[in-house]
Structure 1
Amino acid sequence: MKSFQTLLLVLTVFYSCNEKKESTDSVDDNQHPKLILTKKGVDKIRASLGSVPIFDKTLEKVKKEVDAEIADGIKMPIPKDYSGGYSHDQHKRNMVVLQKAGVLYQILDDEKYAKYVKDMLMQYEAMYKTLPVHPKTRSYARGKLFWQCLNDSNWLVYVSQAYDCVYNYLSEEERNKLETNLFKPFADFISIGNPQFYQRVHNHSTWGNAAVGMIGLVMDDQELIDRALYGIKDLKLNTTEKDDDGGFLNKDGKAGFLANIEEPFSPDGYYNEGPYYQRYAMYPFLIFAEGLHNVKPELKIFEYKEGVLLKSINALLNLSDADGDFFPLNDGQKGMSYYTSALVTAVDISYHFGTQDSGLLSIASAQDRVLLDDSGLSVALGIKNGKATSFNKKSINLSDGPKGEQGGVAILRNEDIELVFKYAAQGSSHGHYDKLSYSLYEKGEEILQDYGLARFVNIEQKGGGNYLKENKTWAKQTIAHNTVTQNETSHFNAKYEIGSQHHSVLNYFSSENENVQVASAKEANAYPGTEMLRTMAIIKDEDLEKPYMLDIMKVTSNEANQYDFPYYFLGQVLNTNFKYDTPKTLNTLGTKNGYQHLYVEGTAKASSENSKLSWLNKGKFYTLTTLTNNNDELLFTRIGANDPEFNLRREAAFMLRRKNAKNTLFVSTIEAHGGYSPVTESAVNSNSSIKELQLVLDTEDYTAIQITSEKGNIKLFITANTNASKEAKHTIKINDKNYEWSGSYYFE
């Protein structure tokens, strides 16, 4: 520790003395580093060493890590494994260490780091010249170092930064050798050699575009830069050929980095594949954009599409819960959060190149590390100077689609309750068949969950760390989500070709009233002849301890159907107001479309107009109250049937089944209330505060729900099913009483 601090002090004094002299030097357009680090930025970093705590802490940690790797020696296994295997993980490790070692060489001016980068690059050059395509055959686009071109692209994105940092350390002969035998063939292989990977709009292709473009910027190769920005010229592909994710190649003939900005991002910055994949794609999007900004400022990349790249970072941060975990929309692994390294990049770049939002500094402080580059120093100085403020997440509606006209995602927030309402487009090949679905949270803990993906990422024992078959047979199917399934068939019959043509439509979004936050959307294409209108609200009422959720799902069809309406709750059942039977032998709920993965653990017939279920999860009580009739079936189910390899989590659901219904309405509330302490063994406020729900009006234009509390107070919520603009004026009569209001809904 002392030796490192001494080194920082010496460097600080030395570079402070030389800063004025060096700043007057002429600038060479081809000087290095220029990609992510810049010469001017390196000078400023060196002059600041020892005086910026979070930057110095990050630098010390990286130095310790890379020094250990150098001491351990270079490892260069022959590629043979899937994700999680030794060869895969080692080459993945090599690319990260190469990038970090290059940065350390620039900041500390210690030749040992440049030599380490040079020696490893030369070993890769020797290997790559004769390296065949990876022996694992599962991918639609096999790499050489890795089993898929995606990971090869990851490697080049990182290694191009290392090459830039040691460019001037290498001789011209050494650079020619690397570029001729390694970098140019590498870029050609992942692009021209694999157009089915490169030439499309997808997060995979974004990595490929960034890889080709970044090495092109370092090598000053305009052909590679153009190929990165605009795709491969004069290339004809079969646009109906599918990749292994179910997506289509060369979508609409568009390709390249700019197309990958234009198509997946809405004007609000929402990324159509969902936050999990947005997080993954943000690194190549932003790191390549930073390189373009530094080397090709005339492109004004951060202003492209009205600055959507920087907007997208704010959208992504808002798509996280109270703990910073991203909501698992579409294919999303739970637990992925803004503490991942990709979001360190996103936060630092957003602050440095954006509006310098002080709220980003609080997230950077929580991340407890910064990039070791110009943007990281900018953030570190902001934190040091006390500029950090809280990043305030509020209710927000994020549009989907290139022009913001393909549905969206609404997040309703009221105190500690967060509701995520998905009415978006399909989400490319990573989309799920779950129109008008939702999940519910309290302080970052799930109340009602979205299952997420069926995959053990980078765990080789589980399918090589890749998507499992249960991702299609369960996780993507409609019954796996908190929305309506009709006739045991998934939305769009679980066909990507159909689902990708349609999107839900916003009815209205309202967040002006801090006590009542509402989102309402329609879906008319999931089932031919059936329209769904769902209105969801988070309401703060003085009679209840915490805000509660009100859910109104209106279904209109041209024929009678069976509707299944599940609630994927987490925790232990406490009590119900209905009697149920539990079978001695477990049977599945169905045979296909996800039903084959559900065991039936309990059955009942609804016995009252309000059916109630209460449960306990992680020391908190929750109660569901739902409108029912005497023909409704009530089912307790559990995930895990027909899963011999135990790939699925054994989690429960409560399901309302309504048969032989044409037009119908599902109405429910979910309350969070009280808590239990195992230390004091005391339960506080463990009972529901909602006495009754009552449907008092349901027409084509309006639906009105009366909510009676245990204290006897009555509230009325009326939603406009049509003509729901903020300017609309409404007059209706309910039980001989007139109600007049302006706007989308009425609550009193």
Structure 2
Amino acid sequence: PDGLAVAQGVASGAARPFAFRSMQLRDGPNGDLGNLVFLRQGGANGQALVMKNTQQGQGHGHFDRLNWLFYDNGQAVIRDYGAARFLNVEAKNGGGYLDENDSWAMQTVAHNTLVVGEKSQFGGDWRVGEDRPTTPRFFHAGEGLQIASARLDKGYDGVVLTRTLAMVEHPDLALPVVIDLFRATGATPADYDLPLHFNGHIISAFAAEHSVRERRVLGDAAGYEHLWVDAVAPASSETRSLTWLLNGRFYTYRFAASAPISALLVESGANDPSFNLRREPALIQRMRGQADASFFSVLEPHGAYDGTAETVSGAASRIRDIGRARSNGAEVIVLTLASGKILALGVADDLAENAAHAVTFNGQTYAWTGPYARLDR
């Protein structure tokens, strides 16, 4: 009956263009089991950030809470592997799910969220995950700043995960940028891996030691057995960047953390004798032996490449650096633009609207009231 009603509506001319607006969709029968957030700008082919703060999905979900995706220029820029199957392609395992759906696609490392101790969330048991929902913290879609935050406190024993994602506009930036702050608070020191599954051809990368003669496998379980290691940069506190090209547009990702991190460039497809997996690149930020950690980054779309005219414009990033400071239960992320201007985002642990916060970075104090604020200079 619903399909018939849709068909009748289309036939009668009742169809209307979809409104590409920002929104949050509450999860669960009563809307209290997390949310799915969409931050949008620029219409159908503009920017769309998706943040997954939902429950497990009654067995259909993956272990990817606090995962994010980013679409721009009609392309999936920060992407998610999804399911490992060739639907209805009988020549490939009868057209059903592949073994790698369990060993790779459903594992946390296959998604853009934090992995603790090289294990998947909830120990890889969807029944456990089903009983432990994600907690949304705030959502706001305003002029120049769109932001969402959520917390997962039972994905790993003794570790609380909090992620805040913001899509920010600035007159000195050609397109909106994405600021990401991922914080882990643990009872004891742990090892953290933060993957970023990006789509495109690498244009420039951070200094790293490359695997030239042999290609080792990253691990032996929880999806790590399916990752080839292509390059490794040693642990450092310095800001690094990675730029790639996709469908005529450049993307620069700048990242650092509260403690030294190593950076690994990897690719899916290891331990895959039947060639079931797609070969896709990823960046992994790795931090060892820390109880508390903050990973912070900015993704900047910029420039254009016209293969027909053989012209390039705006290939250089307009962001010079990214920095971060934390004090008194609050953090500030500071972007220094090529123009010399400062774009800053303050995020607090306390969600009270009247709570005052102040964080000093490079001798400058950033003060605000409430759970978050944009603080330009």
TM range (shorter): over 0.9
The code of the aligned residue for 2:5 comes to: I
State the partner residue of 1:296.
Answer: none
Q: Is 2:299 the counterpart of 1:670?
A: yes
Contact 1:484/1:563 (8 A) holds in 2? yes
How far apart, in 1, do the equivalents of 2:235 and 2:303 lie? 27
The CA deviation string for residues 655-686 of structure 1, in whole angstroms up to 9 with x for no partner, is 11111111010000001111111111111111
The CA deviation string for residues 695-735 of structure 1, in whole angstroms up to 9 with x for no partner, is 132443x11111110111012210122225xx434343534
| Change in CA separation of 1:659 and 1:608 when aligned onto 2, cut-off 3 Å | closer
The code of the aligned residue for 2:339 comes to: K
How far apart, in 2, do the equivalents of 1:523 and 1:722 lie? 16
The code of the aligned residue for 1:703 comes to: E
SS of corresponding position for 2:59: helix
State the partner residue of 1:461.
Answer: 91
Unpaired runs of at least 5, structure 1: 1-286, 291-344, 351-370
Contact 2:325/2:359 (8 A) holds in 1? no
Greater share of residues in helix: 1
SS of corresponding position for 1:560: strand
Alignment of 1:339-358 (within 5 A): 345=3, 349=5
State the partner residue of 1:380.
Answer: 11
Q: CA deviation at 1:562?
A: 0.9
State the partner residue of 1:399.
Answer: 26
The code of the aligned residue for 2:282 comes to: A
How far apart, in 2, do the equivalents of 1:630 and 1:534 lie? 17
| Change in CA separation of 1:464 and 1:547 when aligned onto 2, cut-off 3 Å | same
Q: CA deviation at 1:578?
A: 2.4
Contact 1:510/1:519 (8 A) holds in 2? yes
Q: Is 2:144 the counterpart of 1:486?
A: no
Unpaired runs of at least 5, structure 2: none
What's the TM-score, normalizing by structure 1? 0.48
Greater share of residues in strand: 2
The CA deviation string for residues 100-139 of structure 1, in whole angstroms up to 9 with x for no partner, is xxxxxxxxxxxxxxxxxxxxxxxxxxxxxxxxxxxxxxxx
What is the aligned counterpart of 2:263 among 634, 645, 650? Answer: 634
What is the aligned counterpart of 1:730 among 352, 356, 370? Answer: 356
What is the aligned counterpart of 1:655 among 266, 281, 284? Answer: 284
Q: CA deviation at 1:743?
A: 5.8
Higher Rg: 1
The CA deviation string for residues 345-382 of structure 1, in whole angstroms up to 9 with x for no partner, is 3xx636xxxxxxxxxxxxxxxxxxxx3xxxx1x44333
The CA deviation string for residues 256-302 of structure 1, in whole angstroms up to 9 with x for no partner, is xxxxxxxxxxxxxxxxxxxxxxxxxxxxxxx3xx5xxxxxxxxxxxx
How far apart, in 2, do the equivalents of 1:492 and 1:537 lie? 27
The code of the aligned residue for 1:720 comes to: A
Q: CA deviation at 1:606?
A: 4.8
Q: How many residues were matched structurally?
A: 371
The code of the aligned residue for 2:265 comes to: F
| Change in CA separation of 1:694 and 1:490 when aligned onto 2, cut-off 3 Å | same
Contact 1:474/1:480 (8 A) holds in 2? yes
What is the aligned counterpart of 1:550 among 179, 184, 200? Answer: 179
- Give the aligned CA root-mean-square deviation in angstroms: 1.8
What is the aligned counterpart of 1:739 among 354, 367, 374? Answer: 367
| Change in CA separation of 1:729 and 1:681 when aligned onto 2, cut-off 3 Å | same
How far apart, in 1, do the equivalents of 2:209 and 2:317 lie? 20
Q: CA deviation at 1:430?
A: 1.0
How far apart, in 1, do the equivalents of 2:191 and 2:311 lie? 43
What's the TM-score, normalizing by structure 2? 0.93
How far apart, in 2, do the equivalents of 1:471 and 1:412 lie? 29
| Change in CA separation of 1:668 and 1:743 when aligned onto 2, cut-off 3 Å | closer
Q: Is 2:333 the counterpart of 1:705?
A: yes
Q: CA deviation at 1:583?
A: 3.7
How far apart, in 2, do the equivalents of 1:738 and 1:585 lie? 48
The CA deviation string for residues 5-53 of structure 1, in whole angstroms up to 9 with x for no partner, is xxxxxxxxxxxxxxxxxxxxxxxxxxxxxxxxxxxxxxxxxxxxxxxxx
| Change in CA separation of 1:630 and 1:721 when aligned onto 2, cut-off 3 Å | closer
What is the aligned counterpart of 1:596 among 212, 225, 243? Answer: 225
Contact 2:208/2:231 (8 A) holds in 1? no
The code of the aligned residue for 1:627 comes to: A
Q: Is 2:134 the counterpart of 1:504?
A: yes
SS of corresponding position for 2:70: strand
SS of corresponding position for 2:210: coil
Alignment of 1:158-177 (within 5 A): none
How far apart, in 1, do the equivalents of 2:38 and 2:327 lie? 26
How far apart, in 2, do the equivalents of 1:498 and 1:579 lie? 39
State the partner residue of 1:440.
Answer: 70
SS of corresponding position for 1:502: coil
Between 1 and 2, higher relative CO (CA 8 Å, sep ≥ 6) is seen in 2
State the partner residue of 1:411.
Answer: 38
Q: CA deviation at 1:497?
A: 2.1
How far apart, in 2, do the equivalents of 1:661 and 1:428 lie? 33
| Change in CA separation of 1:500 and 1:545 when aligned onto 2, cut-off 3 Å | same
State the partner residue of 1:559.
Answer: 188
